[in-house]
Amino acid sequence: MKSQKTFADIEFESRKRKTKREEFLEMMDKVIPRDEWVSIIKPHYPDGKRGRLTRGIETMLRMYFLQIWFTLSDEMVEDLIYDSHAMKKFMVMNFNEEQAPDATTLLKFRHLLESNQLCEKLFKDLKERLEANGCMM
C-alpha cells in the first residue's frame, strides 16, 4: 500500500526529530509480517459479495493494532487516525482516495478475530518476533 505524499507529509518529514509514537509505529511496521497475517485472516474474512463492501484486511489489521497498542475505543482510534500524522502514516492512508474505517467496521473486525481465536495467534507471533529482534524481554 503506497499513497501519494501530501504537502503535510513533506512538512512533517522536514522536522528535526520524530516523536516516540512515530518511532514505535515505524518499528512495529518493520516487525509485523503483514502478508503472512493477512493470509491467516483471509479464510475467515467476508468476501464482500453480500452487504457492505469490505475494507482491506491489512487496513483493518493496522487499525486494530493501533487500538490495542494505545488502549483506544473504537471511536477514538477512528478519530486519531484523522488527527495524528503518525497514525495516519502507519495506516498508509490517502484521505483523497479513501476514508478511515468507521468504529463499527473495527468492532466487527475485532469480533471476527476473537470468534476465530486469531487474536491469541497474532499476539503470540508478535511477541516472538519482538523478542527475536531484541525489542522485548
pLDDT digits (tens, 9 = 90+) for 55-68: 889 999 999 999 99
- SS3 of the chain: helix, strand, coil, percent, to 5: 65, 0, 35
Q: How many domains does the chain have?
A: 1
Instruction: Look up the domain containing 48 and give its range.
Output: 7-132
Exposure string of 20-36, with b = 16+ CB inside 10 Å and e = fewer, is: eebebbeebeeebeeee
pLDDT tens-digit map of 11-46: 667 667 888 999 999 999 988 898 999 999 999 998
Does residue 94 belong to any structural domain of this protein? yes
Does residue 2 belong to any structural domain of this protein? no
Q: pTM of this prediction?
A: 0.82
Does residue 100 belong to any structural domain of this protein? yes
Does residue 137 belong to any structural domain of this protein? no
